Structure 1
Amino acid sequence: MQVQGSVVRSSRADWLSCARTRWVGCLLAGSALLFSSLPAAQAANAPESASSNAQIRALKRAGDAVVALNVTATEGATSAESLGQRRSGSGVVIGPDGLILTIGYLLLEAETIQVVTQDERVLPARQVAYDLATGFGLVRPLVPLRGVEPVPLAGVSSLNTGQPLLVATGSSSGTEVGFTRLVGTRAFSGYWEYHIEAAIFTSPPVANHSGASLFNADGELLGIGSLFVLEAAGPEQTLPGNMFVPVDLLRPVLAEMQSTGKTRASVRPWLGLSSSERGGHVEIVRVDRSGPALEAGLRPGDVVLEIDGIQVTTLEAFYKQLWKRPDADADVELTVRQGSEVRKIKVHAVDRMQTLRKPQGI
């Protein structure tokens, strides 16, 4: 589903916040909004359906599966510069063994991970996987989760622009929920050498978006929260919202992530750059202090014109040309403009996963 140029104007009144409340009361209050978007054949029975036990049970199960995550990074972690030494976010149980899905950046160089359940139990957990390619992370509690059912996964292809959706986040006092609307799905390129072909954009935004769960009216998981964005409707239109990574991307790689801790697609060249698109060019805005780009002499303000002689004007084109290499360890030639001078700089790319600090004892 491609939605571009179609803006969903959502006021704060659309955001029916149910923070720090139990699920049932919140769901009853918001059910009219959720079910107002159903197709006509279902909408005729919406009041009855919205109050039905089956629907309430499905949504309550979804809420019960949402947990809070507290993460402490290893000493000296380079990711602490941008993410902090201590991080908090959310996750959701997707497996019968307590497997939790979250956004991967929360887990970067994690030393300790704690799971806080809706009934306020604090459980130690371990990282199962971090997938650089999709951005997903997997966590498993070291103590069995009691009475928590995994949530079902759903695709986004059947969703309609403007459709109300439910966002759930974990906190120290239980699940917090609110309602937002679908703006659309489109490709997304992140400044941190990240690209996915389809991301979910919603508005109005939720502040504590890291690892937040996005559900449909049937309590099925659609995506995991990644970012706050100012252009949810596209680069030409200002509309504050959130970007969610769709669980459609998880199904093909879930088994591989559990088996190996990552995916083969994550083993790709990494330069250690943060970049943005400005004036039809790719501009470097930050250079990782331990990455190969710094060692090669790249610096903030440099404009990337070409990679291996191929012109690039967007982050997507830059990344895709970089990732064409079969191996992560590879020499890359960048043509950059530094001030008034155009230079060719050779960078020896590396495997990002090999640069991350491991917990003590691993």
Structure 2
Amino acid sequence: MLHHTLVVQPITTADAEDAAMQGGAMPALEPETLLDAFSAAVVRVVQRVAPAVVGLRVVRSTHRGSDVPGAGSGFLITPDGYVLTNSHVVHRARQIVVSLADGREFAAQLVGEDPATDLAVVRVQANGLPIAEFGDSDRLQVGQLVIAIGNPLGLQASVVTGVVSALGRSLRGPDGRLIENVIQTDAPLNPGNSGGPLVDTRGKVVGVNTAIIAGAQGLGFAIPASTAQWVVGQLVREGRVQRAWLGIIGELKSVPGRFVPEHGGTRAAGIAVREVIVGSPAERAGLRPGDVIVSLDGAPVRSPTDLQRLLGRAPVGSTIVLGVVRQGKLATVRAELAPEPDRERQASR
């Protein structure tokens, strides 16, 4: 994936990356050539992306009336001032200040946030700003070189490099919901990197840095660009992300394996309905306490995570088919999904 020289003409970093993506073999290179090419690639990426990386300072008011400062990173995604960052950076902030790479500072307004993916969009009133472009996170491979740019511990525009350590990880978001398909990287991340871009050697954003594990070394996580683009679209249009909602409170329960033939064993698991929310799609569909959900549109439901994941993929307004064990028999229940209620608004009532 790095620059080297042939007899006829040099192969660029991009050429090498294409070859790697297509499974092609790379000629043997001298160590000095490899290091020089990698260094040049990182320099080009920083020159391209760093102007779009911003710092965020926030002030939150506590229940006791005191102010608590916070900080994080973000990056410009449109020339007219839209900035992508983490939800946990700006959540419940009464004041947000964005610092640009050229030293200018602007007060920012929250456009919308999605705690379920730990993403948020804020906006500053400015035009003609440099932007970072999204890449294709679905093409990432384990071992691929990545670069993180952010403001760790308040040190603006810090650059670190690493590799993609794993793909398809799951991570609990700030609201407890499972974030799927998370990128794991060993690029050294620290507090303040949150919300900054994770980019490939072409300077395209493939992830949004979101979390580290306290006490661990070389364990950083990023929301993939494919997820971020979908969330950004909804936040800019609606101010929030609408997800499908069924409306039950359930718990894991064992069921005879004959009800879930895909399980391949004598016993399996499903979600026992403990409570049906009044006015919910579940109530309208006729789900009852005591029912055990074992499948959704033919896919096995073996845990609350399975149910959450499958509902997250279903469009609002669509009709799903639930396989339900009721009084020892397998039944079919159709439910038309509604938008998920706003948890914070409900809690504030």
The 3-state SS of whatever aligns with 2:201 is: coil
Following the alignment from structure 1 to structure 2, what is the Cα–Cα distance between the partners of residues 68 and 139?
A: 12
| Mapped contact 1:269–1:325 kept (Cα < 8 A) | no
Q: 2:147 aligns with which of 166, 173, 185?
A: 166
Contact 2:242/2:316 (<8 A) preserved: no
Superposition TM-score, scaled by structure 2 size: 0.60
Change (3 A) 1:269 1:96: farther
Aligned partner of 2:119 among 136, 143, 146: 136
The equivalent of 1:297 in structure 2 is none
Q: Deviations over 1:104-134 (max 9, x none)?
A: 1222112110101223322110111112343
Give the corresponding residue for 1:260: 238
Alignment of 1:299-310 (within 5 A): 309=292
What's the counterpart of residue 289 of structure 1? none
Secondary structure of the residue aligned to 1:258 is: helix
Partner residue in 1 for 2:57 = 70
2:345 corresponds to: 354
2:184 counterpart of 1:197: no
**Cα pair 2:148 2:187 within 8 Å, conserved:** no
CA distance in 1, matches of 2:17, 2:56: 33
CA contact (8 A) 2:160 2:187 kept: no
Structure 1 residues 57-94: Cα deviation after superposition (integer angstroms, max 9, x where no partner):
5531201111111112245399x9xxx93221100111
Residue ranges of structure 2 left out of the alignment (5+ in a row):
1-11, 250-268, 270-288, 295-300, 318-339
- Whole-Å separation in 1 of the counterparts to 2:74 and 2:110: 12
How large is the RMSD of aligned CA atoms in angstroms?
Answer: 4.3
Could you list the runs of 5+ residues in structure 1 that have no partner in the other structure? 1-30, 232-237, 272-280, 282-305, 328-348, 358-362
Provide closer, same or farther for how the CA distance between residues 37 and 175 of structure 1 changes in structure 2, counting only shifts above 3 A. Answer: farther
Q: Say whether residues 1:116 and 2:91 are aligned partners.
A: no
Q: Does 1:98 align with 2:89?
A: no
Query: Counterpart of 2:238 in structure 1: which amino acid?
Result: T
The one of 208, 211, 216 aligned to 1:224 = 208
Whole-angstrom CA distance in 1 between matches of 2:290 and 2:55 = 41
Contact preservation (8 Å) 1:118, 1:173: no
**Alpha-carbon separation, structure 2, partners of 1:41 and 1:73:** 52
Q: Distance in 2 between matches of 1:85 and 1:260?
A: 29
Instruction: Kindly provide the amino acid, as one letter, of the partner of residue 70 in structure 2.
Output: R
Equivalent pairs counted in the alignment come to 258
- Structure 1 residue ranges, 4+ long, deviating more than 6 angstroms after superposition: 35-38, 42-49, 266-271, 321-327
SS of aligned partner of 2:223:
strand
Specify the SS of the correspondent of 1:106: helix
Structure 1 residue aligned with 2:48? 61
- Contact 2:167/2:181 (8 A) holds in 1: yes
Q: Deviations over 1:168-224 (max 9, x none)?
A: 113655301111211111141416321233110011541123112101111110111
**Higher RCO structure (Cα 8 Å, ≥6 apart):** 1
What is the match of residue 87 of structure 1?
Answer: 70
SS in 2 for 1:95: coil
1:157 partnered with 2:135: no
Q: 1:201 to 1:98 in 2, by over 3 A?
A: same
Checking the alignment, whether the CA contact within 8 Å between 1:36 and 1:46 is kept in structure 2 is no
TM-score, normalised by the number of residues in structure 1: 0.58
